[in-house]
Amino acid sequence: MILKTLSPEAAQLMFQELRARQNELELQNAQLHRAQAKLDVERAHYFALYDLAPVAYCILGAQGLILQANLAAASLLEVTGAALVNQPFMQFIVKADQDTYCRYRTRVLASSEAQSCELRMAKNDGRQFWVHLQTSVAQDADGAPALRTVLTDLTQRKQAEAELAAIQSIAENASQTEAHFLAAIRHDFRQPLSALGIYANVLKIHVAPTGQPLLANMKDCIASLNQLLSKTDGPEN
């Protein structure tokens, strides 16, 4: 054996070198364990920030395939996260809005800043909903463009906008109905009131003094009605 051929001094030196190497390996092993523990913590942190984020988020490849998608994105589209990976993002966009998305994607790739748009997407069961997309471009490990996209469900906002539009339409129709009604009142009452005013002036000459107070009251009523009708006149009058 080699040790038998070594002098005691050489054997002692070899033993010390082996012990030093063992200590070095143990130190490296401890460092690897610490690095692995740190990596596990970072992965858990990433999972909490990405997968458990309340905002729907996905990363698309250069060919438009979904490379990653968090739980919120999967929930929004009502599919499992694993089922989204390697699926074309376009398949979740309503056919009528696919041209809009193509133009948007071209704009994203040509810009160094995040771009946004609104379009309709379809859930796994075919139900459509409005979504706001905000996308920025990064690079994957191979240097290819990766599109980081945030999806915001606009269903409640669109419903509120539709309800507001319906209320505005009802208000406009009511305003038009009121205007037509007042115009009809002015048309139907103004001419008879004018005739009554002329008739009252004629009667003033022929009515006896005892009837003058009644005639004056009649003329006051006619004046009040004319004043009331004047208040219904629009700005154009």
Query: HEC string of 129-149?
Result: EEEEEEEEEEECCCCCEEEEE
Q: Would you say residue 60 has pLDDT above 90?
A: yes
Cα–Cα dist 92/128, whole Å: 9
- Supply the pTM of this predicted model: 0.55
pLDDT tens-digit readout, 73-132: 999 999 987 889 999 999 999 999 999 999 999 999 998 899 999 999 999 888 999 999
Q: Which amino acid is present at 142?
A: D
Q: Which residue has the higher pLDDT, 182 or 165?
A: 165
Cα–Cα dist 191/199, whole Å: 12
The stretch 17-37 carries a mean pLDDT of 81
Q: Would you say residue 181 has pLDDT above 60?
A: yes
Cα–Cα dist 85/201, whole Å: 92
Q: Would you say residue 197 has pLDDT above 70?
A: no
- How many other β-carbons are positioned within 10 Å of the β-carbon of residue 151? 21
Burial string for 111-124 (b: 16+ CB within 10 Å, else e) reads: eeeebebebbbbee
Residues with Cβ within 8 Å of residue 132, at least 6 apart in sequence:
116, 117, 118, 151, 152, 154
